Amino acid sequence: MSFTITTPSPPSKFRSWLIVGLLFIIAMLNYIDRTMITTMRTSIVDSIPMSDAEFGLLTAVFLWVYGIFSPFAGYLADRYSRSRVILFSLFVWSLVTWMTSYASTFNELLITRALMGISEACYIPAALALIMDYHKGPTRSLATGVHMAGIMLGQSLGFVGGWLAENHTWNYAFTIFGIFGMCYAVAMIFLIKDVPKSEVEITTNEKPKAGFLESLKVLLGNRSFLFIVSFFGFISIVGWLIVGWLPTYFQEKFNLTQTQAGVYSTGYVFTAAIFGVLAGGILADIWSRKNSKARIYIPFIGLCLAAPAIFMANYSYVLSISILCFIIYSFCKSFVDTNTMPILSMVVEERYRATGYGILNFCGTLVGGLGLYFGGALRDSNIDLHTIFQFASGMIILSALSLLFIRPNPKLLNQGK
């Protein structure tokens, strides 16, 4: 026997978009806190002597821990309150950021980076799943895109850490952002909440919360989910490869200074990405009103445009044309970022959603790190970036083709229209 209790109206539009706006700021802090250490290398090494390999390890250990812990972190968001996981994650990584300012040895820095990897891994799966809970209608992709724009803005503002380190000390930036993050987490206790139970369908035969191993079994047994993993893995290899080696590409091919190459490869590219996630979200939401697979087709079209852009960039010896091609790539590739979670929501039930995105995070960081490594290994074997980026354009096509094998669950389609 079962019965259904419903309320007259879902969460208000204002409330739904307020959640996205508040998460936008958290996402920005997430990426500022994780990336600013790379912009203050000189200041840190002057204070705590270390080799280049040890400094590289500070970022590597964060990435490894972050990736390994992501599936379990996603499960926590599915098993418990998404909003509490988000706020706990924000408070802990901000606390770790503040603690980093007191590190005086390399080992202490390494420990804080590992702790940051664990705490930050809890955020994105929970945040995206919460956005899906609030945006069940035709705003789902745009809401995701706005949140992803916060991530990209945070990446762009990573230079603030280096600027503060130059004008004060390297510890100063970690103190400022750590304290701000903890205060923001406390304030958000009163604003960021799960969708109230009184505003969703409640049934007496509601399915119980799944265990971690059961969630993995269900997800890995879902053929369409495996194609999402494939699609996300291929594009992650390309994304990390280009982010890691594009500055070197510009510097070597066009004889630019390190500063010029950095501006062209980050300022232009990340700005294009911000516009791309917003455009990809708007287009997918509008088209989804007439085509239930629009959120699959929009990133497919984007990738089909991104691949030739990368290919043509390699054949141009005019700097402005090459920059334009990479801007097109960044803009179109961002259609993926704004639609990945909505696509996952068309394939995976709500109670497995954050865990599923955690698995994507794990796979993305794993193969992305391998992409960075093999990019360097190929260069050591005298294979230039021109050839490596041509290979990347082929990987983009493989990612696009993987999208076409995804079969949405008809029962879940209506939620994303």
pLDDT at 207: 59
Domain limits, CATH 1.20.1250.20, in the chain: 10-197, 215-416
Does domain 10-197 bear CATH number 1.20.1250.20?
yes
Asked if residues 31 and 337 have their Cβ atoms less than 8 Å apart, the reply is: no
**Side chain identity at residue 285, one-letter code:** D
Mean pLDDT, the chain, integer: 84
Domain 215-416, what architecture? Up-down Bundle (1.20)
> Using CA of residue 345, residue 349, residue 353, residue 356, what is the dihedral sign?
negative
320 Cβ contact list (under 8 Å, min separation 6): none
Please give the Cα distance from 99 to 31 (Å, whole number). Answer: 17
**Token pair listed for 225:** 């989910």
pLDDT at 21: 94
pLDDT at 203: 43
Please give the Cα distance from 417 to 141 (Å, whole number). Answer: 10
Altogether, the residues listed in the chain come to a count of: 417
Q: Single out the residue of 126, 278, 139, 140 nearest to residue 192, CA to CA.
A: 126
First to last CA, the chain: 30
- pLDDT < 50 positions in the chain: 1-8, 199-205, 416
Q: Considering the entire predicted model, what is its pTM?
A: 0.81
